[in-house]
A and B are shown apart, each in its own frame.
Chain A
Amino acid sequence: MPTIALKDILINARQEAYRMRHFYLGAEHLFIAMLDIKGSIAGSILQEQGLKPEYVIDAIRRKVGKGSKNRLWAGIPNTPRAEVLLGIANDLALENGREEINERDLLIALLEEEDSIPIRVLKALSLPDMQILAEIARTYTLNRDSQRPYVKVDFGPEFERAETLSKDHLFILRRMFYGYAQIRVERQLTGGYTKATLLAVTPIDGDNRPHATVVVKIDDHDTILDEAQRYESYVKGLLPALTARLEDKPVAPETSDMAAIKYTLVSGYDQIPHDLRAIVKEWDAQKLGQWIKNELYPAFGRIWWQQNRPFRFQVWREYDWLLPPVLTLEYTKDKALPNNGHVLKFPVKRARLHELEYGDMVSVENFTVQRVYPERSAIQLAISQGTESIAAYKIEVRGVDLSKDTFYRGEVVDSIVGRVYKTRNEQLIHAMRALSPDFDTAGEKIASGNDLIEKLPNPIIAYEEMLDRYVNGSLSTIHGDLHLGNIMIGPNNSAFLIDFAHTRDGHTAFDWATLEVSLLSEVVMPAAGESWDDARTVLRYLIPFNGKQPLPNTHPKIATALETIQYVRDIAQECLASHESWAEYFTALALCSLRALTWGTMPIASRRLMFYVAALSMHELRTRFRPTSETDTPSPEETDITGRSTLL
């Protein structure tokens, strides 16, 4: 492949400057222009460092921000720094006996100058040594993949052939284990409720010697690269000595939308790791519960869940992001908002959201772009609150022509106008309909089908008022997605965790409520059956279970399965801000189970149970575990994120 000429880079760079409304040509536009060209040296080198070009482009755009619509000067002048860079590149070209600057010259100039915005971004994305990168750039030859030895992929006896891996998967695996003679894919781990693929893989070297089995996660590249960043900043150094670690950079090939990371289980030399979701079928309820309490909790508790700092929060700040988008809008580009249109901005008045109907025009103001979905021509906006994994009031905007309008993650959009296509309540009703309920789901109350509590709140209506409540709870570092698929069992039944994509400082009870939901789905509901009647049978057990009263003896299997949950509740109790005040736990449980209603990958039987778990938790919050009235007063910091709306 010939080296890209400067004129091609400049064409791209000017377009980037226009799209970002900058109207000058700076180092950032030159660098983005290079990354944007398929097969560039810049893009290839970054990939070898575990960074995908699109990811870096987004990060640069986010740091710089879009310019204002008013132009203050004519033309597109070069910045003084761009002039300096082009001067250095020109010298490099002349040294090599060329008249024309090419991509390599400009890249070396950028890396050596070291002071420009794109290089500051690279440093922030943990690529510290630019001089080494410049050395690599000097001698870099493209298409090195074709010269690489072929890594043979074999499958272990436990790998089911039905789970064939796609070409992309195999390509990523070969790239990841480059240098080994062969890899053996031992088994596919069940994972969570997302589309990520988790594999236990044993690398084998040239002398036919197997190395320690590792866990590989393959997912879309934004998710993987975010997780790697999050691991660097929030998890590394905090983890106990024996736990899953990310030791290598992610693998993110340019030819695929996917990327992968590798978890090394520090002591796993002779045993293939299993996730807890596979183990639940082998272990009895007691053993499972004891393992959670005696292995998992102590292994991570001291550095994570036991931090137990007082934490008073309004429920929506921690939990709104779990629910479907509050609105889905159809983008109406360049249309002004009509007089009867609605404006949505922080602080959001939820009552106003209720008035919105299909076809209404809405202007969303000062929301942050959370995700860009090029394949669906859609973007997701939200109010973000510092940490990026938490974002309340998600709004999806469809029908965005991303070839004409640039949106990048982290961008604060002044205003975007669209027509209401779907509301959150419609999404919840739709999710409920998919479960073919055999009772009326339209009212504020639903029949519980038993005489212990005749009527329960309808969770798809009652969740609303919960979001505005204040909770006195406990704050600690949490895993953020503690379901059975992310908990691994290693040698000597030791506990490991994987998937740090949502690890953060957050509500401690969230982890345990997530685990309870996972156990209810994988252990408790299978002990009962699949129908709505079976879900109601479990409900009949959950009511006395919550109240610590004797359970009925009609279905001993359910009673046994609930023993596992009792261990989780014991841990949860230790993590409560105040040991007898369960309101914070049932708040977490109500919203975690409500979220599970919308998970297409969870069995229908389990989702039926989730509906009742949400309903019962909300009932408990209204009766048995009512938050004290003191917790209902608004705190003075309620509107503290209003003031920073005009800036990045």
Chain B
Amino acid sequence: MDFNINIMIMSGVEDGTLLDYKTTRGDGETTIDKWTLSIGRRDENDLCLRNDTYVSRQHANLHWKNEAWWLEDCESTNGTFMSNPDNFFEDTPVKGIIPISEGQLFRVGRTWLRIQLVE
């Protein structure tokens, strides 16, 4: 289960930043059945959003499991959201763990992110 993934920051002061994660480099956390990328404001997170005060210290996780991507909200204060195809201005809150596909936008605190490229 070796792969590279890119995540692009889609809003805020770091808008346009492309982040690159490689399992071969030891990024993220690999267990028997899944690979996990942690997202939060604290430095220990794989994806650290220190400039967004609406992001919790440990905010969300992105999992690769059963050949699919999953987004998990870690009971964050301000929530994790998916873009809502029916209403652009009312994002859909993520409760628990939900499936997410490549190219789909999701929001952690105030920051929008997108899984860009999976190899």
The residues of A with any CB-CB pair to B shorter than 8 Å are 22-24, 26-27, 59, 62-65, 67-68, 70, 72-73, 77, 79-84, 115-117, 121, 124, 233, 386, 410, 644, 646-648
On chain A, the residues within 8 Å of B12 by CB distance are: 24, 26, 79
Closest A-B pairs by Cβ, 10 of them = A81-B16, A124-B88, A80-B16, A24-B13, A79-B15, A81-B15, A68-B53, A80-B17, A26-B15, A647-B78
On chain B, the residues within 8 Å of A68 by CB distance are: 53-54
Does B51 contact A73, Cβ atoms closer than 8 Å?
Answer: yes
Shortest Cβ distance from residue A64 to the other chain B in the assembled complex, whole angstroms: 7
Looking at chain B's contact residues, the main secondary structure is loop
Can you pick out 26 interface pairs between chain A and chain B where the beta carbons lie within 8 Å of each other? A22-B13, A26-B11, A26-B13, A62-B89, A65-B110, A68-B53, A70-B53, A72-B53, A73-B51, A79-B12, A79-B13, A79-B14, A79-B16, A80-B16, A81-B16, A82-B16, A84-B16, A115-B10, A116-B15, A116-B16, A117-B112, A233-B86, A644-B79, A647-B54, A647-B78, A647-B79
Shortest Cβ distance from residue A521 to the other chain B in the assembled complex, whole angstroms: 35
**With A77-B13, A84-B16, A647-B78 given, is the CB distance from A63 to B88 under 8 Å?**
yes
Shortest Cβ distance from residue B115 to the other chain A in the assembled complex, whole angstroms: 14
Looking at chain A's contact residues, the main secondary structure is loop
Shortest Cβ distance from residue B90 to the other chain A in the assembled complex, whole angstroms: 7
**With A64-B11, A115-B10, A646-B77 given, is the CB distance from A410 to B89 under 8 Å?**
yes
Interface size class of B (residues with CB under 8 A): 20 to 34
State A544–B78 Cα separation when bound (angstroms).
Answer: 56
On chain B, the residues within 8 Å of A63 by CB distance are: 88-89
On chain B, the residues within 8 Å of A65 by CB distance are: 110
Shortest Cβ distance from residue A37 to the other chain B in the assembled complex, whole angstroms: 23
Please name the residue on chain A nearest to B50 by beta carbon.
A72
On chain B, the residues within 8 Å of A72 by CB distance are: 50-51, 53
State A233–B110 Cα separation when bound (angstroms).
Answer: 26
Please name the residue on chain B nearest to A27 by beta carbon.
B15
Please name the residue on chain A nearest to B93 by beta carbon.
A644
State A63–B91 Cα separation when bound (angstroms).
Answer: 10
**With A70-B53, A72-B51, A117-B10 given, is the CB distance from A646 to B16 under 8 Å?**
no
State A233–B89 Cα separation when bound (angstroms).
Answer: 13
On chain B, the residues within 8 Å of A116 by CB distance are: 15-16
State A578–B20 Cα separation when bound (angstroms).
Answer: 60
On chain A, the residues within 8 Å of B17 by CB distance are: 80
